[in-house]
């Protein structure tokens, strides 16, 4: 049988003399030369019968098998046929493999290639066992940073050293950790079919702690309350109180917490503390921003330096307040005194103590302003307003300003409208530009009249 393949790309065709030389080398004598020429012309890449050759078993090709000690690899070693000998066919090779108990991982593509391009006297890998696939251990994936690392935020080429994002806030119902189940894996097999057991993945447990629980399917840890999430002793916990054992400075950075904040020191200038609960400060407060939905309690005083701002959703308690702006949804209670500050309270502003005094600034309360002394003999201007909610008063002032502004804008606008209306009566038709102007003036007039009606 003769097979001739066509050239690939810029490859050359094989010549007739080269083919005849190969046929002669194999010891084939009784063949049809015309059929050989036809095969060279068609180049169909298929075997074609060109003649016959007598059997010569002694000259035939033979094969042997080598098997690795772990029975994972089998090698085939072919010996070339002598002149007039036959090649091994695929069925004969498969029988040799079978007789050597090679049943798994036989490389059919390698065997088929060896038929056309045999490699003699070299071990060729013809079968390979299947390695076991070990199972994967169960793993817990945390949705928060479990390492005690500080992450600096860079914006416009500048690093913000105050917003360190140390506190990791979570809300009730938030998923804090997810468990990926272990897998069993798959067993392997040797070339003879022997089973190779795999390692099954190990399981692990979810460890919920304070204010957390495991979901019904046992695959997630969920927060029960708002607060700071921590991995403590291998357990996931949520702390409702964030405690700073010292001052709030560059080491701590700004604080934003969905719970209560306790600071066992002071707050240095330029930092902010915001909490969804209460803020309790055992030291003093400088030029800072404090914002709490609950109470704000300051053991020492506030020295705002005309830039400090404190806002509370309930009450504010402090020893003294100096040069700061303060807002409380309920009351402000001061032990010693208030100096040159602006304080708004929906209910009351109360200064108690032997030296209770309000000196300078502006106090506004809905119900009561109480102090032993208000103002000073030096004539420092001190304003106190009582009887209306400061926020409502502020809103009223804004509406009054809006009303005055609307009156001022409406008067010249009405004059322009009147002029255009008179021109329209005389000329009957205005130019497109004036028509557009007239339309805009009418629209603005209606808007201003709506504002005035609303603010009456």
pLDDT digits (tens, 9 = 90+) for 403-445: 777 667 767 777 777 777 777 776 667 677 767 776 777 777 7
Give the E-state strand segments of 44-107 in sequence order: 51-52, 62-67, 73-79
Contacts of 116 (CB under 8 A, 6+ apart): 3
Range with the lowest mean pLDDT among 20-29, 101-110, 202-211? 20-29
Model pLDDT, residue 58: 82
CA angle at residue 28 from 26 to 29, to 5 degrees?
Answer: 145
Write down the mean pLDDT value for the chain. Answer: 87
Q: How does residue 368 score in pLDDT terms, banded at 50, 70 and 90?
A: very high
Model pLDDT, residue 414: 76
Model pLDDT, residue 354: 82
DSSP-assigned beta bridge partners for residue 302: 285, 321
Cβ-defined contacts of 354-361 (< 8 Å, 24+): 358/382, 358/384
- State the Cα–Cα distance between residues 435 and 438, nearest whole angstrom: 5
Model pLDDT, residue 418: 77
Model pLDDT, residue 156: 61
Model pLDDT, residue 26: 81
- State the Cα–Cα distance between residues 6 and 47, nearest whole angstrom: 13
Model pLDDT, residue 165: 65
For residue 401, pLDDT over 90 is answered with no
Higher per-residue pLDDT: 431 or 367? 367
Quote the pTM value: 0.60
Length of the chain counted residue by residue? 456
CB-CB contact of 85 with 59 (8 Å): yes
Q: How does residue 172 score in pLDDT terms, banded at 50, 70 and 90?
A: very high
Burial of 391 (0-12, 13-18, 19+ CB in 10 A): middle
- State the Cα–Cα distance between residues 328 and 379, nearest whole angstrom: 28
Over residues 194-246, the pLDDT tens digits come to 999 999 999 999 999 999 999 999 999 999 999 989 998 889 999 999 999 99
Higher per-residue pLDDT: 398 or 184? 184
Higher per-residue pLDDT: 455 or 379? 379
Contacts of 105 (CB under 8 A, 6+ apart): 127, 128, 129, 130, 189, 191
Model pLDDT, residue 166: 72
Model pLDDT, residue 358: 94
Model pLDDT, residue 413: 73
Model pLDDT, residue 415: 75
Percent of the chain with pLDDT over 70: 89
Burial of 217 (0-12, 13-18, 19+ CB in 10 A): exposed
Which single residue is written with the structure tokens 């209606």? 446
Q: What number is the average pLDDT over the span 391-405?
A: 70
Contacts of 376 (CB under 8 A, 6+ apart): 357, 359, 360, 382
Q: What number is the average pLDDT over the span 304-327?
A: 95
For residue 450, pLDDT over 80 is answered with no
Q: How does residue 149 score in pLDDT terms, banded at 50, 70 and 90?
A: low
For residue 454, pLDDT over 70 is answered with no
Higher per-residue pLDDT: 11 or 150? 11
User: Which helix (DSSP H) or strand (DSSP E) does residue 414 occupy?
Assistant: helix 390-427
Range with the lowest mean pLDDT among 66-70, 71-75, 427-431? 427-431
Model pLDDT, residue 286: 92
For residue 159, pLDDT over 80 is answered with no
Model pLDDT, residue 334: 94
């Amino acid at each position: 049988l003769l097979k001739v393949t066509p050239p690939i790309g810029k490859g050359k065709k094989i010549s007739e003399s080269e083919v005849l030389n190969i046929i002669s080398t194999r010891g084939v004598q009784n063949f049809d030369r015309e059929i050989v020429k036809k095969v060279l012309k068609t180049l169909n890449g298929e075997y074609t019968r060109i003649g016959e050759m007598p059997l010569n078993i002694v000259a035939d090709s033979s094969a042997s098998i080598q098997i690795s000690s772990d029975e994972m690899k089998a090698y085939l070693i072919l010996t070339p046929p002598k002149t007039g000998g036959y090649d091994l066919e695929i069925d004969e090779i498969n029988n040799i493999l079978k007789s050597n108990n090679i049943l798994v991982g036989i490389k059919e593509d390698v065997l088929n290639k060896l038929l056309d391009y045999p490699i003699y006297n070299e071990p060729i890998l013809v079968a390979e066992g299947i390695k076991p696939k070990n199972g994967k251990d169960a793993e817990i994936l945390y949705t928060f940073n479990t390492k005690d690392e500080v992450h600096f935020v860079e914006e416009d080429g500048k690093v913000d050293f105050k917003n360190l994002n140390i506190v990791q806030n979570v809300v009730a119902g938030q998923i804090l950790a997810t468990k990926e189940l272990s897998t069993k894996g798959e067993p392997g097999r040797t070339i003879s079919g022997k089973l190779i057991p795999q390692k099954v993945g190990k399981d692990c447990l979810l460890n919920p702690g304070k204010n957390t629980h495991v979901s019904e399917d046992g695959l997630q840890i969920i927060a029960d309350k708002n607060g700071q999430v921590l991995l403590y002793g291998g357990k996931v916990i949520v702390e409702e109180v964030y405690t700073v054992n010292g001052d709030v400075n560059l080491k701590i950075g700004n604080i934003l917490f969905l719970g209560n904040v306790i600071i066992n020191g002071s707050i240095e200038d330029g930092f902010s503390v915001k909490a969804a609960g209460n803020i309790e400060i055992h030291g003093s407060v400088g030029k800072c921003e404090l914002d709490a939905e609950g109470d704000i309690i300051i053991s020492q005083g506030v020295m705002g330096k005309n830039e400090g701002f404190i806002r509370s959703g309930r009450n504010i308690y402090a020893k003294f307040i100096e040069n700061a702006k303060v807002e409380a949804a309920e009351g402000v209670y001061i032990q010693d005194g208030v100096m040159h500050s602006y304080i708004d309270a929906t209910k009351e502003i109360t200064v108690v103590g032997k030296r209770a005094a309000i000196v300078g600034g502006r106090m506004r309360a809905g119900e009561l302003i109480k102090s032993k002394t208000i103002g000073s003999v030096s004539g420092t201007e001190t304003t106190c307003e009582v009887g209306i909610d400061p926020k409502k008063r502020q809103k009223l002032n804004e509406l009054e300003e809006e009303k005055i502004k609307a009156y001022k804008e409406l008067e010249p606008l009405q004059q322009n409208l009147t002029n255009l209306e008179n021109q329209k009566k005389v000329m009957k038709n205005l130019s497109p530009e004036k028509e557009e102007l007239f339309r805009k003036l009418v629209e603005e007039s209606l808007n201003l009249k709506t504002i005035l009606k609303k603010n009456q």
